[in-house]
Structures are given as structure tokens and as C-alpha cells.
Chains A and B, each alone.
Chain A
Amino acid sequence: KAGVTQTPRYLIKTRGQQVTLSCSPISGHRSVSWYQQTPGQGLQFLFEYFSETQRNKGNFPGRFSGRQFSNSRSEMNVSTLELGDSALYLCASRLTGTANTEAFFGQGTRLTVV
């Protein structure tokens, strides 16, 4: 069965622009979480969606937002991009909404802000 798919794989944006990233979870998975990965900060939790509802949010500014559709696909949006937003953005899907089950990661979207 297909894994977690993230599109696009690479993006280059200019400061001040906005960007939308997409994540398609494994078929049947209802939970999608997003993480930002940078060399300095490691993997940091952005937010999690389950059944189209945001259940948890990390310590990121309001410029970072997301949503989940009825088919469990999720998007995250970053507005007014800053140089510091350059990172690998990973999403992970789970079959259920419980935390103690395996999270399957996508390959990520590499965002570069210039």
C-alpha cells in the first residue's frame, strides 16, 4: 500500500510570500501531524489533525496554519515567509488518534526561503 505522500518535494520562495504544502496520509489513516526539521532545532511539532479537527498545536507563530479534508489529506500554509522558515517540513500519519501507535512519515517538502 502507498506510503505517506508529500508534495511538492522542493520549493523555493521569496521572503514575504506564502506557501501551501500538501500531505496525503496512508489510506485509512485519520491522523496527520506536521513537523519542522532544521539542523539547529531538530524535529519540532507544528500541529496535528484528526477527523478534520486540529487537536494540538506546537509553539509556532500564527503564520503557520493547517487544515484537513474529509479524505484525511492535509495542507499546511505558511504566510509572510521569513528566511528562518527554511526547513524540511515532514508530515506523519497514524491509523488512529491515539499517540501510542506508529507514526509513518512522508519524505518531506524542502522549503527554501530566499
Chain B
Amino acid sequence: GENVEQHPSTLSVQEGDSAVIKCTYSDSASNYFPWYKQELGKRPQLIIDIRSNVGEKKDQRIAVTLNKTAKHFSLHITETQPEDSAVYFCAASINNQGGKLIFGQGTELSVKP
């Protein structure tokens, strides 16, 4: 069945460094890849997403890249700040399966001042 693998499960960086989180999906029909940030005790919130017809997307300090051939997509955060500390989830979905999102297991990012 569909599966999304996410690595690493925990990531600790110094403030100002970059952080990279990687995901691999199994179903080649997947065509939408959102990333969610969930702070402790709060709801998941979309930070960036990418569709399968695009290879890269940037939004200020955040970027996502997609390699459809390898079925990989990655989140890149530059100039990390303590407020970036949270759990990040990648997800994948297939357009003809309605609103179903398959999530990775999450990465707990800790940014140390």
C-alpha cells in the first residue's frame, strides 16, 4: 500500500544552521506533497507544498525539492531560528483519492540558540 518514509526522526541544529528533512514515497501516482509544522500542543499547519509538475519551490527561508524519478522530496530550512523548533511532517496524496494524505512519521527539529 501507500507509504511515506521520513528521516531523520530527530534533528538538532545550532541557530543559523540549515536543516534538511527527507521523505520517500512509494506510490508513483502521488502528485501532491505538503509539509506540515506542528508545535507542541498545537494543530499541524501547512508551511509549504509542491505539486508533481514542479521540481522546486521556495518561500523565504523554506524550500522543498521533488525528485519524481527517485520518489524523493525534501524540506530545506535555512538560517534556522529557535522558533523553528517543532515536529515536521511530510505527506503525499493522489488526486483521485480525494482528501487522503499519507504522512511520514515526523521529524522533531530542535534549534539551539
Contact = CB atoms under 8 A, between A and B. Distances in A.
Q: For chain A, what secondary structure do more than half of its interface residues adopt (helix, strand, loop), or is it mixed?
A: strand
Interface in B44-103: 44-46, 49, 51, 89, 91, 93-103
B44 A99 contact: no
Given A42-B106, A100-B31, A100-B51, A56 B97 contact: yes
B98 A99 contact: yes
Given A56-B98, A99-B95, A43 B89 contact: yes
A33 B43 CA distance: 14
A65 interface: no
Given A100-B95, A102-B46, A103-B99, 9 more contacts: A31-B99, A33-B99, A42-B106, A45-B101, A55-B98, A55-B99, A99-B93, A100-B51, A105-B36
18 contacts: A32-B99, A42-B89, A42-B104, A43-B101, A43-B103, A55-B98, A56-B98, A59-B1, A90-B44, A92-B101, A99-B93, A99-B94, A100-B31, A102-B49, A103-B46, A105-B43, A105-B45, A106-B43
A73 interface: no
A114 B1 CA distance: 32
Contacts of A59: 1
Q: How large is the interface on A (under 10, 10 to 19, 20 to 34, 35 or more residues)?
A: 20 to 34
A7 B4 CA distance: 30
Given A42-B89, A98-B95, A107 B42 contact: yes
Interface of A: 4, 31-33, 35, 42-45, 48, 50, 55-56, 58-59, 90, 92, 94, 97-100, 102-108
Nearest to B50: A100
A25 to B, nearest CB: 11
A35 B43 CA distance: 12
Nearest to B100: A56
